[in-house]
């Protein structure tokens, strides 16, 4: 049965939010399984209830150490006029509770979900990760070595029927289902003979279009384009700051320090004010 009152819906959201976050982090760190909707919902609720219980324990500890830092939990549950009379403090306490539970979800995922895994699992197709994500990362990491040049993505496509082609990646579809996607190669275009020799295609052929359903293997090589120059641009400070912040939030040490700060700052502010 779903809650019908505003307070009931608010409590449900407060409990479910950390569970949804932890489930999302789990899907990024562990291979996807074809679980039923019931099992996924049960995981979200179980994680949410557990994290909320720990969050309530932290809130209770904070209330004992610094009673003025957050709302009086007992009065909020017993006195119907307490919450309307302390709206700002109630909102602040709810935000603090969410900060506790979501940080706890991050700490758990960074410690227990990633052992043995070299990197996060992408929830997208491999050729989107390679052709777009990896290419962008290489452009950032090798900006100094490239000296304003572009990176050319050379692709070797081996078809299920046997022929092998080499060209420069031009375009690829991402919005269609996998069986409906296509890959386009641009000049210079080559074919690979059975003896392994590479032969240039006749002049005049501009593009090769391959249906994903006909491709057996895709081999990718990134190389600086000697003829392709671009304006030398630096990564925006905002983007660099967000990337550094995301890296910090993947560290169990920094997440633990953040949790300590979330506890210490309200406690100190309660004593000061």
What is residue 11's predicted lDDT score, i.e. its pLDDT?
77
Q: Do 192 and 165 meet the contact criterion of CB atoms below 8 Å apart?
A: yes
DSSP state for residue 213 in the 8-state scheme: G
What is the model's pLDDT at position 231?
Answer: 47
How much of the chain, in percent, has pLDDT values that exceed 70? 71
DSSP H or E stretch at residue 184: strand 182-192
Looking at the chain, list the stretches that DSSP marks H as alpha helix, in order from N- to C-terminal side.
6-29, 37-65, 73-78, 82-85, 87-108, 126-128, 135-141, 143-146, 237-248, 252-272
pLDDT reading at 177 higher than 60 = yes
Q: Which domains does the chain have, with CATH numbers?
A: 6-122+252-272 (no CATH), 150-225 (2.30.30.100)
Q: Given this model, what pLDDT does residue 188 score? A: 87
Residue pLDDT, tens place only, 214-227: 888 888 888 777 66
Residue 211 pLDDT > 70: yes
- Give the whole-number percent of the chain exceeding pLDDT 90: 6
Quote the mean pLDDT of the chain: 78
- pLDDT for 255 equals 83
How far apart CA 263 and CA 7 sit, in angstroms, is: 25
Query: What is the reported pTM?
Result: 0.56
pLDDT of residue 165: 92
Coil, strand or helix: which one is 221? strand
Asked which of 4-18, 53-67, 83-97 is least confident by mean pLDDT, the reply is: 4-18
Q: Is the separation of the CB atoms in 190 and 198 below 8 Å?
A: yes
Instruction: Give the length of the chain.
Output: 273
Of the ranges 28-42, 159-173, 219-233, which is most confident?
Answer: 159-173
How many Å from the N-terminal Cα to the C-terminal Cα in the chain? 42
Half-sphere exposure of 189 (CA within 13 A, CB side): 16
Please write the tens of the pLDDT for every residue from 27-40.
776 655 666 788 88
The pLDDT of residue 101 is 92
* CA–CA separation, 103 and 113 (whole Å): 15
Residue 77, pLDDT above cutoff 50: yes
Residue 246 reports pLDDT greater than 80: no
Would the pLDDT of 118 be above 60?
no
H-helix or E-strand spanning residue 156: strand 149-159
Average pLDDT of 206-234? Answer: 75
What are the CA-CA distances from residue 197 to residues 46, 84, 118 (Å)?
59, 80, 36
Res 54: pLDDT? 92
């Amino acid at each position: 049965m779903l809650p019908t009152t505003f307070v009931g819906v608010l409590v449900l959201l407060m409990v479910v939010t950390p569970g949804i976050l932890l489930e999302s982090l789990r899907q990024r760190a562990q291979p996807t399984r074809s679980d039923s909707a019931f099992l996924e919902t049960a995981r979200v609720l179980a994680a949410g209830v557990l994290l909320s219980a720990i969050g309530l324990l932290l809130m209770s500890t904070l209330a004992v150490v610094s009673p003025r830092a957050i709302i009086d939990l007992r009065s909020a549950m017993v006195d119907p006029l307490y919450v309307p009379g302390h709206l700002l403090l109630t909102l602040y306490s709810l935000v603090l509770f969410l900060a506790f539970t979501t940080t706890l979800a991050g700490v758990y995922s960074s410690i227990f979900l990633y052992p043995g895994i070299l990197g996060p699992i992408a929830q997208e197709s491999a050729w989107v990760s390679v052709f777009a994500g990896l290419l962008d990362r290489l452009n950032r990491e090798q900006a100094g070595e490239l000296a304003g040049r572009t990176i050319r993505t050379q692709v070797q496509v081996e078809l299920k029927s046997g022929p092998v082609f080499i060209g420069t990646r031009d375009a690829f579809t991402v919005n269609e289902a996998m069986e409906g996607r296509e890959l386009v190669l641009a000049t210079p275009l080559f074919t690979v003979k059975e003896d392994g020799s590479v032969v240039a295609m006749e002049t005049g052929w501009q593009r090769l279009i391959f249906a994903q359903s006909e491709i057996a293997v895709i081999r990718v090589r990134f190389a600086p384009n000697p003829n392709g120059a671009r304006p030398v641009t630096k990564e925006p400070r905002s983007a660099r700051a967000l990337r550094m912040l995301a890296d910090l939030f993947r560290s169990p040490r920094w997440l633990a320090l953040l949790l300590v700060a979330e506890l210490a700052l309200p406690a100190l502010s309660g004593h000061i004010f």
